[in-house]
Amino acid sequence: MRPAVARGGGWAGQIPAGGGGGARGGARMAGAAKGAPEEAGEPKEKKTAAPKPPKGRGAKPPKGSRTPVLVRAAQAAKSAKSAAKSCWGALANVPPRWAAGAALAVLLAAFGAYIQSTSYGKFYTDMGVYSLYDFQFDAFLERTPGTVIVEAYVPGMQAQQFSMHFGSAKVYNDVMGKSEIPVTYVKMNLRDAMRTRINLLGDGLFDTYQINQAMGGTDVKLFALTDTDPGWTGTLKTAPRRKTNIVTILRSYFRFFGWPRHNGGKYVRPLRCHNDWGSIATAARQAHLPRYVQSTVPGIQDILRDSNFTVPVLFLDPDAPDGNDKIKRLYAQHSEELWDQTFYIVEDLLTVVEAAFDIGEPSFAMMLPEILRNPHEDSFPTLSLSDDVDNLEDNLKKHYISNLFNLVGRLDARTVGRYMSRLKPIGPFIKEVRLYSRSAKASENFAELVQILSPLAKKYRDHAFHVAPIDDDIIHVPMEEYNFPANEKFEGEDLISELRVGITYHGVRPEPQPDQRFTMRTETTVENIAKFIEEVGQGRHKAKYKSQPKANQAEDGRPQMVVGDTFKELVLESDKDVFILFYSVYTNECMQALALWERLAAKRMPGILFATFDVKENEFPDEALRSYLLMAAYDKETTLEGHGGGKGLPGMIYYKRNARDDPALYSGPHNLEELEEFAKTAFANPAKPVRSS
């Protein structure tokens, strides 16, 4: 029997005939041989070894063993057909609903991938806070339900610090639990987002300085974008809502259908709150609500029982024919301006209101909480809403301000902004008596202090009396503001002797350090407090200013460090001319000027003392006000309209020994040669040195 070439084997080798090729064919032959015994006497056929394929690079199969290309293609098609038939047979056993589900999943995955690749791309998030590009902003708002809080910023130190509070507010919001309305946090760099900048701030802002000024002179401003109109004066259920449909949604995914609406069709308003994560999170959860709070008579009674600050309440007649809409709108506008105060509205039967508070007509009341009530002032001063309706808005503001401050107020981190930002001068400036107390943290002790101090506060009504509770965590605040001794423990035998007293005259000096502070050093009694108030008014006490510790005398060839407490001694009373550098370590220009001052001092010019004064760590004492005014005027003069860039700092002031009251400002180039020449000329000139240019 002759051996046959296996089909499709090429030069892969030869197998015995009838085997069908491969291992399976060989097995079938072996089985057949085993089942049929050989015929007797038939000689065995001698097996021949299959030729080995050639080896090595470039080796060719034996001649005549190659398979034509068309044959191989036909074989591949046959194999594919067989594989498809096998696959189809396997799929025939799969339940139809499984197959449909798999097909739907594939389609959804493909659709999602397509959406990701559309013109708006992917929204990136960091710890739950989204950072968007300008072209993504409107589309993101259109897709996002609920409230969106936007941190609009331009790069700067304030923005960098605020960003940490903003991210923490998102975490705190999650910790507080699920809010009534979903809240989303977004950051937008307005310097690189022109369209968003126009939507939020308006047109005509082209550089960082202009954007900064439009945001109130700061690097950051918060906005709340809500689905419901927060300015609505009716019930929340009837408030206007943004309308969405299939077209607006498609526009937020595919530009083919048109651009998304400005701000996603949401209602926009500034979000006003303190710059800490707790205040941001709380304001964000309430951003969709009206600015005032709807309450009841029992609710107001509970608030007055727990509050430490005057509570503004608008009492309305629920049966009024016009529904009180006009008054509510005015009240909402009024409360929007005073964002850090909670305003309340009570629409209850006037008989119920009269029984509880002795108020028998629609009125605006500034209500003292229980802890602040005393026999020396009215507990519920009211403004009748029926009088002078045409000037109601102005009357609301006047009544609010005139009754906001009771005789003795409580001062803490939350109320200090409300007190100090709304105090109106009684006379040329604001006079404040601040009393620090450890025991005042307890409500009953604070209430007792109110009763003791109220007669004194009524006598000196042109002074605002504030009790500030303290503990070891914030004891550094009075130490810094009023220069109390380092060993002061703020302790005493009773509530009065424990008090430490300081008086501040606000606004008596120019910005940025407009206050004068005076510290009471005698034993604390009501009589001594009254005496201290009189003596400060008569000018018998020296004002205290923030100052670094007194520095040692500088080494020869080094500039002398001057602080607030040593300015008069080292500058005004020096036996040399003094060339002093006013600087801040937070600007590069000042740090470069410090290096120049070191080199100037190293020249050891006879008769000239080179000195430095850190304006961040020291307040300008009264003796240094002339220097400050010179720098402030130069800063204003060199500020480019609409671009900033004032050159007030670093400030270089030359004091001549014989003209201390008339210092000169150096305004020339900041280089060693020019400064040295100016100093030599000023020293040689017996008169005041001219202003360098």
The 10s digit of each residue's pLDDT in 195-219 is 899 889 888 888 888 888 888 888 8
Shared domain check, 420 and 343: no
With CA atoms as reference, report the closest residue to 692 among 269, 601, 683, 679.
679
Q: Are 440 and 469 in contact (CB under 8 A)?
A: yes
Q: Which residues share a beta bridge with 434?
A: 466, 502
Residue 625 confidence class, pLDDT cut points 50, 70, 90: confident
Q: Return the minimum-mean-pLDDT range out of 286-295, 368-377, 406-415, 448-457.
A: 406-415
Q: Are 288 and 182 in contact (CB under 8 A)?
A: no
Beta carbons within 8 Å of 437's beta carbon, 6+ residues apart: 445, 449, 467, 468, 469, 470, 490, 495, 498, 499, 500
Model confidence pLDDT, tens digit, residues 439-460: 998 989 999 999 999 999 999 9
The reply to whether 203 and 135 lie within a common domain is yes
Q: Do residues 17 and 4 lie in contact, with contact meaning Cβ atoms separated by under 8 Å? A: yes
582 with 659, same domain: the answer is yes
Instruction: Print burial letters for 251-290: b (CB count within 10 Å at least 16), e (below 16).
Output: bbbeeeeeebbbbbbbbbeebbbbeebebbbbbbbbbbbb
Region 129-150: what's the mean pLDDT? Answer: 92
The pLDDT, as a whole number, for residue 643 is 41
Q: What is residue 563's predicted lDDT score, i.e. its pLDDT?
A: 92
The answer on pLDDT for 541 being more than 70 is yes
Based on the fold, state whether residues 502 and 598 are members of the same structural domain.
no
Q: Which of 122-136, 200-214, 551-565, 679-693 has the lowest mean pLDDT?
A: 679-693
CATH code where residue 652 lies: 3.40.30.10
pLDDT for 450: 93
The answer, yes or no, to whether residue 38 has pLDDT greater than 60, is no
Which pLDDT band, with edges at 50, 70 and 90, does 636 fall under?
confident
Supply the pLDDT for residue 410.
87
Pairwise CA distance, residues 124 & 189, whole Å: 14
Would residue 56 count as lying in a domain? Answer: no
Query: Is 591 in the same domain as 680?
Result: yes
Residues 338 and 269 in one domain: no
Flag whether 550 is in a domain: no
The pLDDT, as a whole number, for residue 256 is 74
- Decide which of 355, 380, 404 is a domain's last residue: 404
CA distance 48 to 14: 10
State phi, psi for 516 to the nearest 5 degrees.
-115, 135
What is the per-residue pLDDT for 649?
81
Is pLDDT larger for residue 199 or for residue 693? 199
20-24, 128-132, 543-547: lowest mean pLDDT where?
20-24
Do 216 and 242 have their domain in common? yes
Q: Give the pLDDT confidence score for residue 126 in this predicted structure.
A: 85
Please give the average per-residue pLDDT across 27-39, as a whole number: 43
Domain boundary (285, 316, 340) is at: 285
Chain centroid to CA 85: how far?
A: 65
Which residue among 250, 268, 285 closes a domain?
A: 285
Instruction: Report the distance separating Cα 602 and Cα 559, nearest Å.
Output: 8
Q: Is a pLDDT exceeding 90 seen at residue 545? A: no
**Which residues neighbour 537 within 8 Å (Cβ) at sequence distance 6 or greater?**
none
Residues 669, 623 within the same domain: yes
* Radius of gyration in angstroms for the set of CA atoms belonging to the chain, rounded to a whole number: 42
pLDDT of residue 51: 57
Instruction: Evaluate if residue 6 carries a pLDDT over 50.
Output: no
Quick one: pLDDT band at residue 12, thresholds 50, 70, 90? very low
> Which pLDDT value is given to residue 278?
83
Residue 221 has pLDDT above 50, yes or no: yes
C-alpha 97/C-alpha 536 separation (Å) is: 90
Amino acid at 304: L
Helix %, strand %, coil % of the chain (to 5) = 40, 15, 45
- Would you say residue 97 has pLDDT above 80? yes
Stated pTM of the model: 0.65
Residue 332: the pLDDT is 83
Higher pLDDT, 578 or 2: 578
Share of the chain above pLDDT 90, in %: 30
Distances in Å between the Cα of 235 and the Cα atoms of 251, 287, 325, 327, 378 are 32, 15, 11, 15, 33
Tokens of 207: 């550089």
Tokens of 428: 């040329």
Q: Lowest mean pLDDT: which of 99-113, 114-128, 247-261?
A: 114-128
CA distance 582 to 614: 6
Tell which wins on pLDDT, 189 or 15: 189
> Does residue 64 lie within any of the structural domains?
no
Report yes or no on 209 lying in a domain. yes
Q: Report the mean per-residue pLDDT for the chain.
A: 81
Q: What is the pLDDT of residues 576-598, one digit of tens each?
A: 999 999 998 888 888 999 999 99
Most confident of 53-57, 101-105, 643-647: 101-105
Give the number of residues written for the chain. Answer: 693
- pLDDT at position 388 over 80: no
pLDDT level of residue 114 (50, 70, 90 thresholds)? low
How confident is the model over 393-407, as a mean pLDDT?
85
Residues 517 and 533 in one domain: yes
- For the chain, how far is it from start to end, CA to CA, in angstroms? 119
- pLDDT at residue 33 above 50? no
The more confident residue out of 632 and 16 is 632
Would 179 be classed as within a structural domain? yes
pLDDT for position 390: 73
Give the pLDDT confidence score for residue 52 in this predicted structure.
58
pLDDT score recorded for residue 40 = 45
Tally of structural domains, the chain: 6
Domain match, 532 and 658 both: no
Q: What's the rounded Cα separation, in Å, for the pair 286 and 176?
A: 13
Q: Specify the higher pLDDT residue, 555 or 416.
A: 555
Predicted confidence at residue 693, as pLDDT, reads: 45
CB hemisphere CA count around 627 (13 angstroms) = 29
Q: 53 lies in a domain?
A: no
pLDDT at residue 43, rounded to an integer: 52
Judged against a pLDDT cut of 60, whether residue 330 lies above it is answered with yes
Least confident window among 53-57, 149-153, 266-270, 470-474:
53-57
Neighbours of 346 (CB within 10 A): 22
Residues spanned by the domain of 513: 409-537
| Statement to judge: residues 394 and 420 lie in one domain | no
On whether both 372 and 468 belong to a single domain, the answer is no
61 lies in some domain: no
Q: Is the confidence at residue 15, as pLDDT, over 50?
A: no
Sheet holding 183-189, edge to edge: 124-126, 129-131, 183-189, 147-153, 220-226, 267-270
**Is 161 part of any domain?**
yes
Distance CA 263, CA 325 (A): 28
pLDDT, average across residues 184-192:
92
More confident residue, 633 or 380: 380
